[in-house]
Chains A and B, each alone.
Chain A
Amino acid sequence: MNFLNDMRFRAFCYQIGAIGLVVAVAWTMFATASDNLAKQNIATGFGFLARQAGFVISETAITYQPTDSIARAILVGIVNTVKVSLLAAILGTVLGLFVGVARMSRNPLLARLALAYVEVLRNVPLLLYLFLWYSLIIMVFPPVKQALNILPGVYLSNSGLVLPAIFVENGAAIFALFICAGLAAAILIRRISQQRRLTTGKPNHGTVIACLALVLPPLVLWMLGLVSFGWDIPQAGRFRLTGGLHVRPEFVALLFGLLLSVSASIAEIVRAGIQAIGPGQWEAAAALGLHRSRVMRLVVLPQALRLIIPPLTNTYLTVFKNSSLAIAIGYPDLVMVSNTVMNQTGQAIETIAIFMGVYLSLSIAISLTMNWYNARVALKVR
């Protein structure tokens, strides 16, 4: 009788009960599902990934043909998802930073304009904006037969923007190697110069030298003729444009929608971060004779950054997950490719498991990266 009142025993029972319940539910679902699948003659397992995909994907960042495997098609979807969310996150951050600072402007007109921008974006569903941008592109621009030839080689129509593409004719590997080496050298030089400036207090030309280190090696390579470039100029045919780099309206609408929503969130985060820095910081910096813009850049923003990083992580996770709205306007991201695969093979459970797994692991990767960065900029308490 006594052990029923024992806290440890009861805790043990609760936990066993909870785990048992979860296992029982999972087992029942698994049993029914395999029963149902057996009746519908759907094979379980991931064997279908090796089968031929057989469908066309309109936008591929890596080479893909309908004769490739389903696994390759899903990989194309993953790359497309990462491409659009990464671009939206970067461009949205830059735009959001400006809007956030404009929101703090002492000029009421500018502050109100920025406020209106943020409110209009935050209070209307993203999906609605995606539909709106997409139909605007389709409506405003002429059909591809009457594509606008705005610059030589640049065509604009309602099936997208076609640009001349530049590509490396030969020596791509050595070119990439030199760019990486230049980047590494630039980062190293910049770090050394900064260190030297901090210890001596004298300004130096580290930034300029770093830029040279970045640009010179590929330039020398090109001048020596070890690497050559070619242009892929789009040709206007009777019905369509061939060649060149094709930026599709689905991509533009999705990118635009996502980056605007990111910028609105980031503007609010930046504003909250800046406002959280006490007026004493402003006044102290002003007393040292710093101009308002330098106070912002050198004193306030670095401190605000610490407060900004955690909500910023959430914004990046959100834009990554929101890129799945692509399916609504037909941009072939991971969800849309998976949906096609699902309709074609009937392997709903496996396909959904794959794309949920991919989202989950990439989300965790983003969280870890941002946490690492957060730990780096966090105030060191010694």
Chain B
Amino acid sequence: MAEIQALPLPVGAAKPPVRRSGWVKTYFGTPLNSMISLVSMVTIFFLGKLAFGWLVVNAVFSGDGLACKASGGACWPFLAEKLRYMIFGFYPFDEQWRPLLALVLFLASCLISMMPRFWSRILLYAWLLVVLPVLYVLMAGGIFGLSPVATSSWGGLPLSFMLSFIGLVCALPLGIGLALARASSLPAIRVLAVGFIEIVRGVPLISILFMATVMLPLFMPEGVTIDKLLRAQVAIIIFAAAYIAEIVRGGLQDVPEGQREAGQSLGLSYWQVMRKIVLPQALKKVIPPMVGLFIGFFQDTTLVTIVGLLDFLDTVRSALRDPEWQGIAVLEGYVFAAAVYFTFSALMGLYSRFLEQHFRVTHG
């Protein structure tokens, strides 16, 4: 191959611009860009220094509240001492292996269920007939020689997971039903569904929680009382169902009308068309936004602390109010709670993105 030779520049011609390497151009291409880079670097440096100083350099690694009060850094002994309380709440101390086991079992089952290759009817039955009953027995006890634990002593992270997960699982069929009702050709049913969905979506979750905890007992016949936890759970289910219905409606609208008509012309009934043709296509499309919705609900369960349930945020807050640590480890507690919520939410966010990619690749 002939070597390409640089021609001598004609006299007086402008020199070609100096080609800088990609790295320099990316960060210092123009004066404005250089300034942005510098400001960003300074910001990152100071944030890093602040975090490192607080978490490591100035931190207290052993000792008690007084040692922590003296230093300006993070108070690790607080975390070590209060960790079990923050995660499990008032669950009987000697029995705390049960919620721990339940938590591990739950997370492991979730991890397996998250892989699309395991999706099947068997997985659904396994959840309904094995995993959920086992989780309930572990938490509540009463049989197999496990001492019974009242729901009023459930708390912490297992409670947060339970409220959001059970909420979504129960709200899913309800939400699908509402979405079908909203898309129905029968005006009365459509109006009822629209009314329910829009009312629930138009008011804050806290008002539905208030309704469930303050108002619902008034609607019950005398002598009938419903568990406080169950009432909050019902409120979350109702709330979630309305939002799920809107997402599923989007999925239903995406299924071409021809699919429904083809099914009808084969002589299938309305329910057969829905169950075998429309819903499978619609639901597949809404899985990624549903995961996004679940992230929101996981965070929204923190609101139950306002109506007096001991979810994870509440146990963290009551750990902060412990007289021994009061006013000393405020930041530590909140940062720990934030880190826990961040980890789970961010993982689910990654999963949602993975699913979007997965469906794009496998289903056109």
Cross-chain contact of B202 among A15, A29, A109, A360 (Cβ < 8 A): A360
Report the Cα distance A29→B303, complex, angstroms.
Answer: 26
Q: Are A110 and B40 in contact (CB under 8 A)?
A: yes
Q: Are A349 and B218 in contact (CB under 8 A)?
A: yes
Q: How far in angstroms is the closest Cβ of chain A from B42?
A: 11
Report the Cα distance A125→B337, complex, angstroms.
Answer: 10
- Chain B positions within 8 Å of A120 at CB level: 342
Contact A349/B199 with A107-B27, A127-B303, A128-B334 known, Cβ cut-off 8 Å? no
- Chain A positions within 8 Å of B199 at CB level: 356, 360
Q: How far in angstroms is the closest Cβ of chain B from A10?
A: 10
Nearest residue in A to B346 (C-beta to C-beta)?
A123
CB of B44 within 8 A of chain A?
yes
CB of A14 within 8 A of chain B?
yes
Cross-chain contact of B192 among A18, A110, A348, A352 (Cβ < 8 A): A18
Cross-chain contact of A126 among B201, B218, B299 (Cβ < 8 A): B299
CB of A287 within 8 A of chain B?
no
CB of B203 within 8 A of chain A?
yes
Report the Cα distance A379→B349, complex, angstroms.
Answer: 33
Report the Cα distance A74→B95, complex, angstroms.
Answer: 47
Q: Are A321 and B203 in contact (CB under 8 A)?
A: yes
Contact mask A97-134 → B, CB, 8 Å, 1/0? Answer: 00000000111111001000001101111111001100
Report, as a range, how many residues of chain B touch the other chain: 35 or more
- Chain B positions within 8 Å of A348 at CB level: 214-215, 218
Cross-chain contact of A342 among B214, B302, B346 (Cβ < 8 A): B214
CB of B222 within 8 A of chain A?
yes
Report the Cα distance A124→B27, complex, angstroms.
Answer: 31
Q: Are B302 and A128 in contact (CB under 8 A)?
A: yes
Report the Cα distance A223→B334, complex, angstroms.
Answer: 54
Q: How far in angstroms is the closest Cβ of chain A from B182?
A: 13
Q: Are A107 and B204 in contact (CB under 8 A)?
A: no
CB of B330 within 8 A of chain A?
yes
Residues facing B in A1-42 (CB within 8 A) are 11, 14-16, 18-19, 22, 29, 32-33, 35-37, 39
Q: Are A122 and B345 in contact (CB under 8 A)?
A: yes
Residues facing A in B301-321 (CB within 8 A) are 302-303, 305-306, 313, 317
Report the Cα distance A109→B189, complex, angstroms.
Answer: 53
CB of A52 within 8 A of chain B?
no
Q: Report the stretch among B107-115, B205-213, B271-279 that lies at the interface.
A: B205-213
Q: Are B342 and A124 in contact (CB under 8 A)?
A: yes
Q: Are B222 and A352 in contact (CB under 8 A)?
A: no
Nearest residue in B to A293 (C-beta to C-beta)?
B32
Cross-chain contact of B210 among A33, A39, A352 (Cβ < 8 A): A352
Cross-chain contact of A14 among B186, B203, B306 (Cβ < 8 A): B186
- Chain B positions within 8 Å of A325 at CB level: 206, 303, 306
CB of A324 within 8 A of chain B?
yes
Residues facing B in A297-351 (CB within 8 A) are 317, 321-322, 324-325, 327-328, 335, 339, 342, 348-349
Residues facing A in B90-104 (CB within 8 A) are none
CB of A135 within 8 A of chain B?
yes
Q: How far in angstroms is the closest Cβ of chain B from A344?
A: 13
Contact A352/B207 with A125-B302, A128-B337 known, Cβ cut-off 8 Å? yes
Q: How far in angstroms is the closest Cβ of chain B from A257?
A: 12
Q: Are A127 and B313 in contact (CB under 8 A)?
A: yes
Report the Cα distance A363→B201, complex, angstroms.
Answer: 9
Report the Cα distance A105→B33, complex, angstroms.
Answer: 10
Contact A327/B206 with A109-B44, A123-B341 known, Cβ cut-off 8 Å? yes
Contact A11/B37 with A128-B341, A131-B334, A364-B202 known, Cβ cut-off 8 Å? no
Q: Are B306 and A327 in contact (CB under 8 A)?
A: yes
* Most-contacted residue by chain A among B41, B187, B202, B295 (CB, 10 A): B202
Q: Are B33 and A356 in contact (CB under 8 A)?
A: no
CB of B338 within 8 A of chain A?
yes
Q: How far in angstroms is the closest Cβ of chain A from B318?
A: 12
Cross-chain contact of B36 among A18, A110, A122, A335 (Cβ < 8 A): A110
Q: Are A107 and B40 in contact (CB under 8 A)?
A: yes
CB of A55 within 8 A of chain B?
no
- Chain B positions within 8 Å of A355 at CB level: 207
Q: Are B346 and A119 in contact (CB under 8 A)?
A: yes
Contact A15/B303 with A122-B345, A352-B207 known, Cβ cut-off 8 Å? no
Q: How far in angstroms is the closest Cβ of chain B from A299?
A: 20
CB of B219 within 8 A of chain A?
yes
Contact mask B18-46 → A, CB, 8 Å, 1/0? Answer: 00000000110000010011001101100
Q: Are A359 and B207 in contact (CB under 8 A)?
A: yes
Nearest residue in A to B303 (C-beta to C-beta)?
A127
Report the Cα distance A324→B208, complex, angstroms.
Answer: 12
Contact A324/B206 with A15-B189, A348-B215 known, Cβ cut-off 8 Å? yes
Report the Cα distance A37→B215, complex, angstroms.
Answer: 11
Q: How far in angstroms is the closest Cβ of chain A from B35?
A: 10
Report the Cα distance A305→B215, complex, angstroms.
Answer: 43
Contact mask B341-364 → A, CB, 8 Å, 1/0? Answer: 110011001000000000000000
CB of A381 within 8 A of chain B?
no
CB of B221 within 8 A of chain A?
yes
Contact A22/B192 with A123-B342, A128-B338, A335-B207 known, Cβ cut-off 8 Å? yes
Q: 8 new A-B pairs (CB below 8 Å) besides A107-B40, A125-B313, A132-B331?
A: A16-B188, A32-B219, A123-B295, A124-B338, A126-B299, A128-B341, A325-B303, A349-B215
7 contacts between A and B (CB under 8 A): A22-B192, A109-B41, A128-B341, A132-B338, A135-B330, A135-B334, A327-B206
- A residues with a Cβ closer than 8 A to B are 11, 14-16, 18-19, 22, 29, 32-33, 35-37, 39, 105-110, 113, 119-120, 122-128, 131-132, 135-136, 139, 317, 321-322, 324-325, 327-328, 335, 339, 342, 348-349, 352, 355-356, 359-360, 363-364
- B residues with a Cβ closer than 8 A to A are 26-27, 33, 36-37, 40-41, 43-44, 185-189, 192, 199, 201-207, 210-211, 214-215, 218-222, 295, 299-300, 302-303, 305-306, 313, 317, 327, 330-331, 334, 337-338, 341-342, 345-346, 349
